[in-house]
């Protein structure tokens, strides 16, 4: 607890060249992490960056 979750390399291709960003969606703003290979996880901004990183690390794709 307390430590920020660290972003892991892409679980599919192993790349560490991963980008985080944000994009508009129908109800506000989504934040996302994506890899060059097409792997992507995206959630509503209100969940927060830490939750986004957790999902990437646990491979919860949506
Ligand atoms: Zn990848």
pLDDT digits (tens, 9 = 90+) for 2-43: 577 889 999 889 999 999 999 998 889 999 999 999 999 999
CA 29 – ligand 1 centroid, Å: 24
Identify the helix (H) or strand (E) that includes residue 35.
Answer: strand 28-35
CA 34 – ligand 1 centroid, Å: 8
State how many domains the chain has: 1
CA 53 – ligand 1 centroid, Å: 15
Whether residue 33 lies inside any domain: the answer is: yes
CA 47 – ligand 1 centroid, Å: 23
Cβ atoms 33, 41 nearer than 8 A: yes
Whether residue 22 lies inside any domain: the answer is: yes
On the question of pLDDT at 1 being above 60, the answer is: no
pLDDT band of residue 44 (cuts 50, 70, 90) is: very high
Instruction: Give the separation between CA 27 and CA 37, rounded to whole angstroms.
Output: 27
| Domain span at 35 | 18-57
Q: Of 18, 17, 24, which is closest to residue 40 (Cα–Cα)?
A: 18
């Amino acid at each position: 607890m307390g430590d920020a979750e660290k972003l892991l390399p892409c679980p599919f291709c192993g790349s560490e060249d991963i980008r985080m960003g944000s994009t508009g969606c129908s109800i506000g703003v989504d934040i996302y992490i994506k890899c060059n290979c097409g792997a992507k996880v995206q959630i509503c901004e209100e969940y927060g960056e830490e939750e986004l990183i957790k999902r990437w690390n646990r491979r919860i794709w949506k």
